[in-house]
Chain A
Amino acid sequence: MTDIRAVERACVMLNLAPPRQGKHKVYTQEVEGFAVELPDWRYPIVIIPGTGECKYDNYNGSWGRKDKLDQFCQRYGIAAAQCLAEDRGLTYTETRVEADGSMVFEVNLEEDQQHVTVGGGLTDGDSGPSGGL
């Protein structure tokens, strides 16, 4: 989870408090990064700036249900892709939820002046944003 903007958006999508930067207690450890409080989790998940690593301890589900983390990861994936599209000036559709629970949206590549030429031609040499913290 390398894009803090997407972490913030994922929190908004799930009506969670915004991520808090600082040092946070995760059981016996003190972890520095952006903390997100998941519903009914004893300790926050902490996202490490730069690496995007996510530190957490839910004691195999006793201190927090894994599906809550999965839900957050899913929203993060959507938000990160939306941020990347916006960075490139591209528009995208509303997100829909499919029967299997997957979330899906489409980015319009016709507007992508950096690569796509209408009719199929592309130029190479990507220098797109990395979305780092």
Chain B
Amino acid sequence: MSKPVMEIRVDKTGQVQVQTKCIAGQSCVAASRFMEQGLGVVVDEAKTAEYYDNKPLEQEVRHS
């Protein structure tokens, strides 16, 4: 299994997208919480099917 990481992507207008990778199940939500709280308001959230399967997953959260 790959190392658990959180990818931070900032587009050309400054919109931030946080995506956790290789963390099992719903745990990724807690893992990225500090980043979400620190960066701002969550305006969109997307979870992959893996989230519901309790398998390693990717979670995506956008911030304003």
Contact = CB atoms under 8 A, between A and B. Distances in A.
A77 interface: yes
Interface residues of A, number: 44
Contact of B12 (A2, A100, A112, A124): A100
The SS class assigned to the A binding surface is mixed
- Please tell me the size bucket of the interface on B: 20 to 34
A130 B38 CA distance: 5
Contacts of B39: 77, 80-81, 84, 131
B36 to A, nearest CB: 9
Nearest to A83: B38
Interface of A: 2-3, 70-74, 76-78, 80-81, 83-85, 88, 92, 100-110, 112, 114-116, 118-124, 126, 128-131
